[in-house]
Structure 1
């Protein structure tokens, strides 16, 4: 009786086969790939990505990556295309068709219709002698030696190759367009990722109270201001709203340790004179980096040279920036 591999060995073998498939796809990058990138860059329409079965699922992921990185794209299921969805394709669109075999019935019906409409057809295909490869204007070769499936049936390495090549296309297009973080933020306004790209320090500070005192304030006034605003800190400012220092919960503890009597102490006696700060229009993620590097929990926010507010580590946690 044939002995079974361990679970660990099976997983390692699968990943090894899929890694090898990606490396093999990399060897197949040629002038057609460059023409595909150039064609999409110069396209006045959209990229229509189609496929069937597991290839259709990969096509949807490629569309999502294209759209999020500045390349307008639409998914069209190959089976639905021949039942009405062909109407979504416009004259200037480019079509990318994904198929391992390139010979499925739906693909064979779809391709002549695409050729009739005059759209550029790109075949991301694993079989270079297939119907799709023979009729495509450009070919993206995703040939694999074998599937990771021990029966060589379930699409595994072949879909991994498609996915990786789709990512390569998206990144090449991104770099050719000089698509930067600001552009990325436009397409990802929601969630923690979007917030890291657009949320400003001032946005967080505006949600908080603005605790402040003068340098001559008593310890009692300091304690009241800190407790009232629940940020664990208070800014010490002058008459021009410029920051002279900051007093935190930690400064209060150190005061109690260092002084026998506190009745005559003033804010200026216990404040930290070199507080960490950030400009109000800096990204919140930059504030997080300052907080981490300095092992602090509060950060003063400035507008030019004047006091704007305070950010607490909890604000960043609440927004999912951490």
Structure 2
């Protein structure tokens, strides 16, 4: 035992980092090779998914199956219905989940995975479009595919090149490319993406302004021709108080903005006479605004970049529709540092 311990070569942190970087470089270079290898077979796959009236049924065994499950999540989240079918379970009854309107996406580096090849006759009998992501065109899977994406013969990472690593990374990248190109052609908008991701930080970031703003019924609005005193004394709104007063012209369009800070400055400079003058003389003209169709991410950017605390929301005609106060989105404003 002592002799064995003495024969073990210490694996320093330097060696660990060197090997890790080499593995990552190998996989990165493989992705570059795959990107250059893509041909019209990828376009055929895109057309198959776009024409699909049912769902994309993704299947793969082992590590490829795990990649397939991730691709199902990516497709679903970008507006394409997708489900994962375990090929081993498929031949024990789960083939019944496939509909004649579906498209099958099969992942197998060798193209000869037994569990995959066993379900190919069923796919053929149903005349289902079959997208294959595999190494080369010389395999059972590739021969039956109606849309073929070849990765090339990739060397797996690691000292022995045994564990699926480079190949599964390539499958993941190609699958992501397929899902995202399809979503672009389908016209996926940030608003639709937000609808599919209503929870968590991503959902809130993409949330629409109208779902976050204080509605106009809860915002102080006055005519820009009124005096400062009249504008403030006539305003009493329910809900959380905002430090902003939206001012409109004769047509009801936003004409300016006056805040509690503006009022404080008048008093600090002993300009009491201004209280009985038209508020348009002391208001902020053409204030920064955001459209109703904006996102919460847009709001945060404007508040932080412009260093403002209130942001009027306007409709397509420039009429005030609501207000975003910095306290409404305080958890999303960048921390100064």
Q: Show the counterpart of 1:59.
A: 68
Q: Show the counterpart of 1:251.
A: 262
Q: Show the counterpart of 1:123.
A: 132
Cα deviations across residues 260-308 of structure 1 (Å, max 9, x unaligned)? x748744756843315253663324444444344221102234545544
Contact 2:288–2:311, Cα closer than 8 Å, also in 1 = yes
- Residue aligned with 1:67, SS: helix
Q: CA RMSD in A?
A: 3.7
Q: Show the counterpart of 1:310.
A: 323
Alignment TM-score, normalising by the size of structure 2: 0.77
Deviation, structure 1 residue 19:
0.9
Q: 1:38 aligned to 47, 62, 78, which one?
A: 47
Is 1:300 equivalent to 2:309 in the alignment? Answer: no
- Equivalences for residues 161-310 of structure 1 within 5 A: 161-194=170-203, 197=206, 199-201=208-210, 204-206=213-215, 209-212=218-221, 215-218=226-229, 229-236=240-247, 245-259=256-270, 262=272, 265-266=275-276, 268=278, 271-274=282-285, 276-278=287-289, 281-285=292-296, 286-303=298-315, 304=317, 306-310=319-323
Q: Show the counterpart of 1:159.
A: 168
Q: Show the counterpart of 1:86.
A: 95
Cα deviations across residues 7-29 of structure 1 (Å, max 9, x unaligned)? 43333222211111111212321
Q: 1:71 to 1:133 in 2, by over 3 A?
A: same
Contact 2:105–2:131, Cα closer than 8 Å, also in 1 = yes
Contact 1:219–1:262, Cα closer than 8 Å, also in 2 = no
Where structure 2 has 5 or more consecutive residues not aligned to the other structure, the ranges are 1-8
d(CA) in 1 for partners of 2:217 and 2:26? Answer: 53
How many aligned positions are there?
320
Q: Show the counterpart of 1:17.
A: 26
Deviation larger for 246-255 or 291-300 = 246-255
Alignment TM-score, normalising by the size of structure 1: 0.80
Contact 2:292–2:313, Cα closer than 8 Å, also in 1 = no
Where structure 1 has 5 or more consecutive residues not aligned to the other structure, the ranges are none
Q: Show the counterpart of 2:59.
A: 50
Deviation, structure 1 residue 256:
4.6
Q: Show the counterpart of 1:104.
A: 113
